[in-house]
C-alpha cells in the first residue's frame, strides 16, 4: 500500500478506502483518476512496459518523466503489466476483482480484446463501476475514429466560436476536450458507485470527449436551436453584454471587465469618470446600448488608457464590478488567492523538490495531500503483495518480463 492510505487527512475524504484501477495514458483518463485520488481513493495506475507514452512528452522533464506526465498523475501508484501476456492479464484481473472503479481511455473495443473489458470485469467483480473515456463514445458512426483534443474542439464547434471576429478559428489554449471528458467520467463514476453499492449491480460509464464539448456549448448552441442563426466568433466580447471585453491601461497592461449584471452599468460609468454615459437615456438599457456599442467602447478605451492597470483594478473593484489584469502564468503562480488555496503544491520527485498543481476540491475544508507522481513500476512489488502473491511468486512474475518493477 502507498503511504497515502494511512494519512489522516486522506482517510477523512469521501472516497477513502475505495480502490481505483487505471488503464489510461495521456490526459483525459489520468486527470479523471487524479480527481478520484483527490477525494481519497487509492489509485493504481497500470502502465505498459516502457510506461505511459506521456512520460516522454517534451520539452520539460522531472527525473525520468516529463512535466506533462507529472500534471495529471500525482497521488497514484504505478505497476507495469504487459496486458498482452497471460501473466500481465492475470494480475490485471486480480486488480479488477478487488477494485471499486476501473477507468480506461482506450479506443472502444481494445480492452475487451485484451480480455479486460466491461463484461470480463463484471464476471470477476459483479458490482464493478467501469468508466470508459473515448473520443466519440462506445457506439455510433464515429465510435472507432481516433480523436485528440484539437480534433474534438474542431468537430464540436467550440473552435468555430473561439478567436477574433473576421479572423480564423483558434484552438482553446487548454485541453478542454480531454479535461471536460475527464470531469464527466469522474462524476459518472462516483454517481455509479453510489448505485452499485446500493444494489450490487455493475455499471458501465460511457464518457465521450465530443459529447462533453457539445454539452459545454450551452447558450451558444441553444441560441442557434432557437433562432437558426449560427453564432460567430466574438473574441473577448459577449453577444449579450456589450460592455464586456479587454482594455489597455496607460502602462500597457491589458485589463478584462465583465459587468454581467445590468445594475453594474451606472456604477461602472461613474468609476471610469463617465457620468454623462450613466445619465444618457439612450444608453439606459443593455438592448439600447447594443446599438451604440462602438461609441461606448471608444469612451471606455480612452478612460482606461488614462491610468495604470492596478489603479483601475482598485477603483473598478471598489464599485463592485468584476475586473482583472489578464494574467500570464508567472503571475498566476504567485497570485495570493491561488497560494492561499494551495493550488501550487510543494512536493518531491526522484529526489528533487518540485512544484505541482494542487487539488481543486475541498470537502469540509479538507484537501488531499499532494504526493509526487509515481516512477514507472515504483509500487509493483507492494501491489503484488497486496494481491496475495508471496515474495517467491512475485519475483517469478517479475522474472518473466511481463510484470516489471522499478529497478
The catalytically annotated residue of 238, 292, 340, 379 is 238
Cell readout for 18 is: 475505495
CA dist 186 and 35 (Å) reads 7
Q: What is the 3-state secondary structure (H, E, C) of the chain?
A: CCHHHHCHHHHCCCCCCCEEEEECCCCHHHHHHHHHHHCCCEEEEEECCCCCHHHHCCCCEECCEEHHHHCCCCCCEEEEECCCCHHHHHHHHHHHHHCCEEEECCCCCHHHHCCCCHHHHHHHCCCCEEEEEECCCCCCCCCCCCCCHHHHHHHHCCHHHCCCCCCCCCCCCCCHHHHHHHHHHHHHHHHHHHHHHHHCCCEEEEEEHHHHHHHHHCHHHHHHHHHCCCCCCCCCCECCECCCEEEECCCCCEEEECCCCHHHHHHHHHHCCCHHHHHCHHHCCHHHHHCCHHHHHHHHHHHHCCCCHHHHHHHHHHCCCCEEECCCHHHHCCCHHHHHCCCEEEEEECCEEEEEECCCCCECCECCCCCCCCCCCCCHHHHHHHCCCCHHHHHHHHHHCCEECCC
Residue 402 annotated as catalytic: no
| Catalytic residue numbers, as ranges | 238
Amino acid at each position: 500500500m502507498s503511504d497515502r492510505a494511512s494519512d489522516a487527512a486522506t482517510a477523512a475524504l469521501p472516497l477513502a478506502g475505495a480502490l481505483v484501477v487505471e488503464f489510461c495514458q495521456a490526459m483525459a483518463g489520468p486527470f479523471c483518476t487524479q480527481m478520484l485520488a483527490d477525494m481519497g481513493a487509492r489509485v493504481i495506475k497500470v502502465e505498459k512496459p516502457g510506461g505511459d507514452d506521456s512520460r516522454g512528452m517534451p520539452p520539460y522533464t522531472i527525473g525520468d518523466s516529463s512535466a506533462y506526465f507529472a500534471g495529471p498523475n500525482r497521488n497514484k501508484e504505478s505497476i507495469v503489466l504487459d496486458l498482452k501476456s497471460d501473466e500481465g492479464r492475470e494480475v490485471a484481473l486480480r486488480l479488477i476483482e478487488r477494485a471499486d472503479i476501473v477507468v480506461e481511455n482506450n479506443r472502444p473495443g481494445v480492452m475487451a480484446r485484451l480480455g479486460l473489458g466491461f463484461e470480463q470485469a463484471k464476471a470477476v467483480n459483479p458490482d464493478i463501476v467501469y468508466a470508459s473515456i473515448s473520443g466519440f463514445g462506445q457506439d455510433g458512426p464515429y465510435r472507432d475514429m481516433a480523436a485528440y483534443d484539437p480534433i474534438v474542439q474542431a468537430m464540436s464547434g467550440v473552435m468555430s466560436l473561439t478567436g477574433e471576429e473576421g479572423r480564423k478559428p483558434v484552438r482553446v489554449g487548454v485541453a478542454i476536450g480531454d479535461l471536460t471528458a475527464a470531469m464527466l467520467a469522474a462524476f459518472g463514476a462516483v454517481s455509479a458507485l453510489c448505485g452499485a453499492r446500493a444494489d450490487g449491480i455493475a455499471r458501465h460509464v460511457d464518457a465521450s470527449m465530443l459529447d462533453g464539448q457539445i454539452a459545454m456549448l450551452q447558450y451558444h448552441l441553444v441560441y442557434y436551436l432557437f433562432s437558426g442563426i449560427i453564432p460567430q466568433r466574438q473574441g473577448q466580447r459577449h453577444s449579450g453584454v456589450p460592455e464586456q471585453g479587454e482594455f489597455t491601461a496607460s502602462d500597457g497592461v491589458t485589463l478584462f471587465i465583465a459587468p454581467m449584471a445590468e445594475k453594474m452599468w451606472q456604477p461602472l460609468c461613474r468609476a471610469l469618470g463617465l457620468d454623462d454615459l450613466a445619465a444618457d437615456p439612450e444608453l439606459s438599457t443593455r438592448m439600447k446600448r447594443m446599438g451604440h456599442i462602438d461609441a461606448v467602447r471608444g469612451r471606455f478605451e480612452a478612460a482606461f488608457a488614462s491610468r495604470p492597470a492596478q489603479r483601475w483594478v482598485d477603483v473598478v473593484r471598489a464599485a463592485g464590478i468584476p475586473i482583472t489584469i489578464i494574467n500570464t502564468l508567472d503571475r498566476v503562480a504567485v497570485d495570493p488567492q491561488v497560494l492561499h488555496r494551495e493550488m501550487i503544491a510543494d512536493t518531491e520527485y526522484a529526489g528533487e523538490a518540485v512544484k505541482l498543481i494542487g487539488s481543486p476540491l475541498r470537502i469540509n475544508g479538507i484537501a488531499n495531500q499532494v504526493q509526487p507522481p509515481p516512477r514507472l513500476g515504483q509500487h509493483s512489488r507492494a501491489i503484488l503483495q497486496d494481491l496475495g502473491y508471496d515474495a517467491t511468486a512475485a519475483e517469478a512474475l517479475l522474472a518473466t518480463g511481463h510484470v516489471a518493477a522499478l529497478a
